[in-house]
Amino acid sequence: MSSLPDAKLLPEADSSVLQIWGGHPLRGHIKVSGAKNSALVLMAGALLCSEDCRIRNVPLLADVERMGQVLSALGVSLERNGDILDINARDFSTSKAPYELVTQLRASFFAIGAILARLGVAQMPLPGGCAIGARPVDLHVRGLQAMGAEVQIEHGICNAHVLSSDGRLKGAKIYLDSPSVGATETLMMAATLADGETILDNAAREPEVVDLANFCNSMGAKIQGAGTSTITIQGVRKLHSTDYTVIPDRIEAGTFLVAGAITRSDLLLSPVVPEHLLPVIFKLQEMGVPIVEEAPNSLRILPADTLKAADIETLPHPGFPTDMQAPFMALLAVAEGDSLINETVFENRLRHASELNRLGADIRVKGNIAFVRGVPLLSGAPVLGSDLRAAAALVVAGLAASGKTTIKGLQFLDRGYDRLDLKLQQVGAKIQRLGETGTDAELIENGNNSASVST
Ligand code: EPU
């Protein structure tokens, strides 16, 4: 297995571009990083404990770096060594999170539950809307209120404090109107140190929710039922130190599967948890893509004879993940026949369709539905990623398009994909990160395309 340069996060992400020469099959092994959406929320969960927390398999991402800055601003000490992150929240005493950081990173808002549980008071700027939808926080707020916090939103800040004289939140029975991942995580963290039992009904069932519960339990929390719609938490007074490993990133793995499918490649991915990827694996198989589980923690994708059209409806887990919708749109764009994509989780997450059309796709969008008419071939063009998964979709499309695709918007890509370009280079993709518009051909990172490929 090859190793990736332990590069610092690319500082030029705003102005850099990815240049891809498409049409080359990929071959070899790709190492899947730790899950972004687990790592971020585990970092928030570390606030619950005043002893050392070691988190392993932390991906190298701009979002992780920003979350670290949020924790530092709260008085927490952090030290990163490769993919190991040591966090100690003994001196955590600041209840006000910095506006500039929280507004850049929704996951940082989820820390409100842990801050309130530890300090009895929290001031958290609203994370704001973003490119994929309004993303309100009403479910987080109502849940915290049910647990005995007074919560008021004023001047863009969510001010919360615990009403009881002992400063502890109270266990409560909470029904979530929709199974929000973030609200489930916020409330689970809050309930961990609350007085009494909390029952979260209609809770999110995503693997990252389970990972957070396992992490908290490894510190002595009493959480049962994570991964089902009903999570029961018996509050405890104190948590102890832990050494915990983040689960593999199912969305990163899914993106590589789609990259393999669109380029008709032979790729081996590990580590993965195949159960976390079931909707993605079944959809790819429905499209005619052979996928085999080579070992309990690895998946192999083989070239398809033909790619068949398929319909997709995004749903909360265990349904088809909204985070995979954009990469799949790129794949369906070159499948034989017509496909329909219904995005039901976020109200504005189809903006990549117009950029894919720039590459020669035939996609029409009406409301939250995209009609994809498969075309035989995409052709390279300059395109712009409007959010993290949109940017990933354009990378996937660029790998299959004829000629050169130049992708802007890497500040989004680097939020959630750990050195995506370098990992793709290692399996033979002709992909380079260039400074500015790409015309000056200033190479920021250049992996060795052939020597590092392993099968
Ligand atoms: N919602 C509300 N009120 C709330 C919370 C959510 O109406 O208080 C709505 C949202 O507006 C949305 C739906 O509920 O329409 C689902 O949102 P959810 O809360 O489940 O999403 P999230 O917690 O904000 C996480 C991931 C997203 C992923 C979604 C859905 C993190 C940091 N983010 O967001 O990841 O798409 O769950 O699985 O965990 C990504 O990685 O690209 C990404 C956007």
Contact 113, 120 (CB under 8 A): no
Contact 42, 211 (CB under 8 A): yes
The pLDDT of residue 424 is: 98
Residue 296, Cβ neighbours under 10 Å: how many? 10
| Protein residue with least CA distance to atom 9, ligand 1 | 135
| Protein residue with least CA distance to atom 22, ligand 1 | 182
User: By mean pLDDT, which of 184-193, 203-212, 408-417 is the weakest?
Assistant: 408-417
> Whole-angstrom distance between the N-terminal and C-terminal Cα of the chain?
8
Indicate which atom in ligand 1 lies nearest the CA of residue 208: 39
> Among positive and negative, which fits the CA dihedral 444, 447, 448, 450?
negative
Give residue 109 CA to ligand 1 midpoint distance, Å: 12
The pLDDT of residue 312 is: 98
Q: Which of 130, 132, 178, 210 to mutate to test the pocket of ligand 1 (most atoms within 8 A of CB)?
A: 178
Q: Number of C-alpha atoms within 13 angstroms, CB side, residue 359? A: 37
| Protein residue with least CA distance to atom 17, ligand 1 | 180
Tell how far CA 197 is from the center of its chain.
Answer: 30
Give residue 135 CA to ligand 1 midpoint distance, Å: 7
Give residue 106 CA to ligand 1 midpoint distance, Å: 9
Tell me the backbone φ, ψ of residue 219, rounded to 5 degrees: -100, 5
Helix axes 36-45, 62-73, angle to 10 degrees: 10
Q: Which of 181, 320, 344 to mutate to test the pocket of ligand 1 (most atoms within 8 A of CB)?
A: 181
Local confidence band at 436 (pLDDT 50, 70, 90 cut-offs): low
Structure-token pair, residue 244: 């915990």
Query: Which residues lie with the beta carbon below 6 Å from any ligand 1 atom?
Result: 36-37, 40, 106-107, 133-140, 178, 180-183, 204, 206, 322-323, 345-346, 388-389, 416
Predicted confidence (pLDDT) per residue in 352-377, tens digit:
999 999 999 999 999 999 999 999 99
Q: Where are the alpha helices (DSSP H) in 125-233?
A: 138-146, 181-192, 207-218
Q: Give the DSSP letter of residue 126.
A: -
> Among positive and negative, which fits the CA dihedral 93, 95, 101, 106?
positive
Distance CA 60, CA 72 (A): 17
* Mean pLDDT value of segment 179-194: 98
| Protein residue with least CA distance to atom 5, ligand 1 | 137
Give residue 119 CA to ligand 1 midpoint distance, Å: 26
Distance CA 401, CA 398 (A): 5
**Residue of 298, 413, 293 lying closest to 29 (CA atoms):** 298
Local confidence band at 3 (pLDDT 50, 70, 90 cut-offs): low
Distance CA 282, CA 292 (A): 11
Q: Which of 105, 135, 205, 413 to mutate to test the pocket of ligand 1 (most atoms within 8 A of CB)?
A: 135
Predicted confidence (pLDDT) per residue in 261-319, tens digit:
999 999 999 999 999 999 999 999 999 999 999 888 999 999 999 999 999 999 999 99
| Protein residue with least CA distance to atom 23, ligand 1 | 182
Give residue 84 CA to ligand 1 midpoint distance, Å: 26
**1-18 burial: b if 16+ Cβ within 10 Å, else e:** ebebeeeeebeebeebbb
Structure-token pair, residue 334: 């070159």
Structure-token pair, residue 128: 């704001």
The residues assigned a catalytic role are 130
Distance CA 438, CA 33 (A): 28
Distance CA 410, CA 402 (A): 21
| Protein residue with least CA distance to atom 14, ligand 1 | 180
Distance CA 378, CA 394 (A): 11
Give residue 126 CA to ligand 1 midpoint distance, Å: 14
Distance CA 452, CA 168 (A): 54
The model carries a pTM of 0.94
Contact 120, 151 (CB under 8 A): no
